Amino acid sequence: MKTVLLSILLGMLTVLRAQKIFSKDKFDLKKFSGFWYEVGTSSNFSLFLKQKGIKRLGAAFVTPVENNIRVTTTFDKFHECVIENILGNQVDMPGKFAFPRSRKVYVIETDYKNYAIVNISILKKGMRLNVLKLFSRTLQNTDKGLKRLREISEMIGISRDTVFKLIYDGKNTFTFFGRKNAGVFLDPGTPFFSLSLTNFSFIS
């Protein structure tokens, strides 16, 4: 019980520290919308650290829905390609959204054109887990984003040594179910890439 309470308190402190240090007066959801690669991550929790060196990069497509947000995302979960289509509600501050299953997302920092650093807070078995994720518009020139991920991780109490880059081996295909038909996200700076993952699941 004490461990659970401590974890919840530490999780809350991490979120509050991020919001205090990186509070913003406004967040332009329209400029933030579109295609993003998930290229890096950091967390103090062992579940995520075990994925270092094996987790493949993911991707997301963000669509504004009035003042709320729709995200279609794909990620590598133990070599299973998971696709999720979720609607988030804007909550108490610019850049912060609440999603189903007690997930809260806060866009800590973004320049809209190149990178975004996002804090994802997950309630799992009574414990509040916080993960920082680095998103990039392209697979090139991610050094600045990774540097900021290390700096921001340290500033909010996550060791910069936990930062790692997700693997891109040319084998994943990120196929999404769009508004009309199934399709493949295109990044203008990156050619098509083809598929390897055999296990596949879709969550809506």
Question: Which segment, 109-113, 140-144, 179-183, is predicted with the most confidence on average?
Answer: 109-113
Higher pLDDT, 127 or 107: 107
pLDDT digits (tens, 9 = 90+) for 121-137: 988 777 888 999 999 99
Average pLDDT over residues 136-162: 92
Q: What is the pTM of this model?
A: 0.76
User: What is the reported pLDDT for 170?
Assistant: 56
User: What is the reported pLDDT for 129?
Assistant: 87
pLDDT digits (tens, 9 = 90+) for 49-67: 788 888 888 899 999 998 7
Give the chain's length.
Answer: 204
Q: Which domains does the chain have, with CATH numbers?
A: 2-203 (2.40.128.20)
User: What is the reported pLDDT for 9?
Assistant: 41
How far apart CA 164 and CA 41 sit, in angstroms, is 6
Query: If pLDDT is split at 50, 70 and 90, which confidence band does 141 have?
Result: confident
User: What is the reported pLDDT for 63?
Assistant: 95
Pair of tokens at residue 89: 């509600």
Instruction: State the amino acid at position 106 in one-letter form.
Output: Y
Are the beta carbons of 174 and 58 closer than 8 angstroms? Answer: yes
User: What is the reported pLDDT for 171?
Assistant: 52
Q: Is the pLDDT of residue 148 over 70?
A: yes
- Which residue is associated with the tokens 């295109």? 186
Neighbours of 64 (CB within 10 A): 14
CA-CA distances (angstroms) from residue 163 to 30, 80, 97, 115, 158? 29, 22, 24, 16, 9
Which residue, among 10, 35, 4, has the nearest Cα to 130 in the 3D structure? 10
